Structure 1
Amino acid sequence: MDRGDRKLTVTLPAAVLRQLRARTVARETTIRALLLEALAAAGYAVPAAEIRDRRRPPTDSVHRSRRRTRAGTEGA
């Protein structure tokens, strides 16, 4: 967690949480990213860089080659 981030625990109706989870799967993202998107759409100042799936590394070629090297697939 980034030093500027803070945890928030929210209790939601089960049906709403199921919908959130289904949407995260369909969009291949996280609940955090979906909530930040919704907050931005509601007028909150959310930096665009924060609305991303932080589980995934950047997709530039340097990072791709590093992943291949770590996975032992370099030159394959």
Structure 2
Amino acid sequence: MSMILQLTDDEMTALDAQAEAERRPPEDVAADAVRQYVARNAHRARIHAATARVVDRYAEALRELADR
């Protein structure tokens, strides 16, 4: 699948520089950046959900600890 990605001149310059430094095509560098972004945000969402479950489950104990 393909898509059109519009970048500013500065973003394109930075992408080209990174691609050149890695000796990879800019498209590969951009695709890796997207994968990393998605993985990082998916992980963050799982952490937030787990934290919410813990807070809900132990709400009373947390309140008691806060009152000490």
TM-score by length of 2: 0.48
Higher gyration radius (CA): 2
Higher relative contact order (CA closer than 8 Å, sequence separation 6+): 1
TM-score when normalising by structure 1? 0.44
Higher helix proportion: 2
